[in-house]
Chains A and B, each alone.
Chain A
Amino acid sequence: MKLKIALAQINTHLGDVPRNLQKHLALIEAARSQGADLVIFPELSLTGYVLQDLVSTVALSPRADDPIFGQLLQASQAIDLAVGFVEEDSRHRFYIAAAYLSQGEVIHIHHKLYLPTYGLFDEGRFFAWGDSIAAFDTRFGRMGMLICEDFWHASPPYLLWLDGADIFLFMSSSPGRGLSSAPRLESARWVEQLVQAYANLFTAFVAHANRVGYEDGLHFWGGSMVFDPDGVLLAKAPYVDEGLTFAELDLHQLHRTRARLPLLRDERTALVQRELDRILKRASQANR
């Protein structure tokens, strides 16, 4: 079985959801007309990234009766979608969220688990922390979605892997930083190495959609990419430029790679749990 992914590496208008929606719909149609099965947008693709006090004004509910999501769900009749947005829950907490839409339905919502609040980041000031993680079934297999800082921690991808994810969708708005004499920014090197490492460690497909464009002095570097279960780069978008990048995933590669390298078969989850229990128990005793 093949899965043709389109990475929608876009710039956004900060806080202007209707304008960003129009860009989404145009790229969704372009991806569909070029035979893609799934189009992946970056973190906060419907809103822009440094929202600060705009958070409460751009928040959405991922339901068919929401005017923005209504149109996205309509578009998902023809092609699966992963989009980034701000979700306001029924108790009026605001999350950095990603939605997977397929055939007119919301298949899964992920709330960002790790909110960077240091250096140039201030997410914890404006957003609620996500508190659960789960893989989900799609018509192409079981997937997991993570948002930027989530995959700087090893545990969320690991948990998704154990929960059955064979295709990882990573969505970022990664600000460029770390200029040196090297041909790419340090931020690009860090993320690219991480993403490739997960493909290798989990013998899984990993797609990463990153943003481009500027917000004040911040520059988002793009370079969206897809790796196969052998850690081989299938596709890479350019740095800086907007556009669609396609990758065709031969899902049977999972069979071949895992026949060669049965890391998933050999994963010792009971040992992990036993040792984690011991470590946490010891830590709680030490804190008494």
Chain B
Amino acid sequence: MAKIDLSINTDLARTILSGFIRSEIHRVGFQHAVIGLSGGLDSALSCFLAAEALGPENVLAVCMPYRSSSPESLEHAQLVIDALGVRSVIIPITEMVDPLIERDPEMNAVRRGNIMARARMIVLYDQSEVFKGLVVGTGNKTEILLGYTTLYGDSACALNPIGDLYKTQVRQLAGAMGVPEPILTKAPTADLWQGQTDEGELGFTYAEVDQLLYLLVDQRYSPQDCVAAGFAPDFVQRVVERVRRNHFKRVLPPIAKLTNRTVGYDFLYLRDWGT
């Protein structure tokens, strides 16, 4: 297979993305950012970018462990907080989510994971009001395209600086910005149960799928072109189908059109309207 180079100029990415955070927060009258810091790579990078954009004193990192969360996650989040000097708070979600989870002894891991992700969203948006800051997102391009995210959970945010970077690019930029080594090198995980890893759950590696998505999305290859480029046909098919099936997570819910002017169809303004 031909080598597909996903490497980026990190200085350029850093300048554009920190400027984006600054612009999109300041122009609507805010000074602060709120970020859910999981101990993983994506939220660490978002936190580094926000601290650079706004100053660390204007960033609140919120750690939201559940009782089964790995202690390592909290330790790694603390490494980020210490490295940047951002403000931080630990708000465990166990007492919020357990009563709901315990109502159904049959509840599976997907449901539990979704409840946890949405509980964290509630905490973040509450802290957003307390700290008078906007919630900065932590979803990367790979998981957005694959739909490897909880709708209205970890995908909920006011702005997302890293959503156009594939996971492998997130790692490159995070390394360039000084995200602590243990976070850079550990296996990505949603940390919903012990031993869970993204790549184990997805069934392929980020290195593989990022290259395929780059051809499909960025380079507009057809699935057949991707197979010709050396990707296994069943892998291509699975990814193509997954991207399509999860599109609902990437758009606002459709509104049934009745009038001559309807939000989403012919009432069109950027969010930055008037600013």
Contact = CB atoms under 8 A, between A and B. Distances in A.
Contact of B273 (A15, A181, A219, A239): A15
A215 B20 contact: no
A52 interface: yes
B7 interface: yes
Interface in B1-39: 5, 7-9, 11-13, 15-16, 19-20, 23-24
Contacts of A53: 266-269
Nearest to B7: A181
Interface string A96-136: 00000000000000000000000000000000000000000
Nearest to B160: A217
A65 interface: no
A240 B8 CA distance: 18
A214 B266 CA distance: 23
Contacts of A14: 270, 272-275
Contacts of A176: 16
Contacts of A259: none
Given A53-B269, A179-B13, A180-B9, A15 B274 contact: yes
Contact of B270 (A180, A181, A182, A215): A215
A52 B269 contact: yes
A180 B20 contact: no
Nearest to B15: A240
A249 B152 CA distance: 56
Contact of B19 (A184, A185, A214): A214
B15 A183 contact: no
Nearest to A184: B12
Nearest to A188: B12
Given A52-B269, A214-B24, A180 B274 contact: no
Interface in A159-176: 176
Contacts of B273: 14-15, 54
A181 B13 contact: no
Contacts of B275: 13-14, 16
A88 B163 CA distance: 38
A127 to B, nearest CB: 14
A50 interface: yes
B269 to A, nearest CB: 6
Contact of B8 (A13, A181, A213): A181
A185 B13 CA distance: 10
B111 interface: no
A184 to B, nearest CB: 7
A54 B16 CA distance: 26
Interface in A174-217: 176, 179-185, 213-217
Given A53-B267, A181-B5, A219 B272 contact: no
B9 A179 contact: yes
Interface in B49-87: none
B272 A214 contact: yes
Contacts of B15: 239-240
Interface in B254-275: 266-275
A13 B274 contact: yes
Looking at B5, B266, B267, B272, the one whose CB has the most chain A CB atoms below 10 A away is B272
Nearest to B10: A181
Given A13-B275, A15-B274, A217-B20, A179 B268 contact: no
B9 A182 contact: yes
B23 A214 contact: yes
A14 B15 CA distance: 22
20 contacts: A14-B273, A14-B275, A52-B268, A52-B269, A52-B270, A53-B267, A54-B273, A180-B7, A181-B7, A181-B8, A183-B9, A183-B12, A185-B12, A214-B20, A214-B24, A216-B24, A216-B270, A219-B16, A219-B19, A240-B19
Interface of A: 13-16, 50, 52-54, 176, 179-185, 213-217, 219, 239-240
Given A183-B11, A216-B271, 9 more contacts: A14-B274, A14-B275, A16-B275, A53-B269, A179-B16, A180-B5, A214-B19, A239-B15, A240-B19
In the A-B complex, the 10 residue pairs with the smallest Cβ-Cβ separation, listed nearest first, are A52-B268, A214-B23, A181-B7, A216-B270, A53-B268, A14-B272, A50-B270, A219-B16, A215-B272, A179-B8
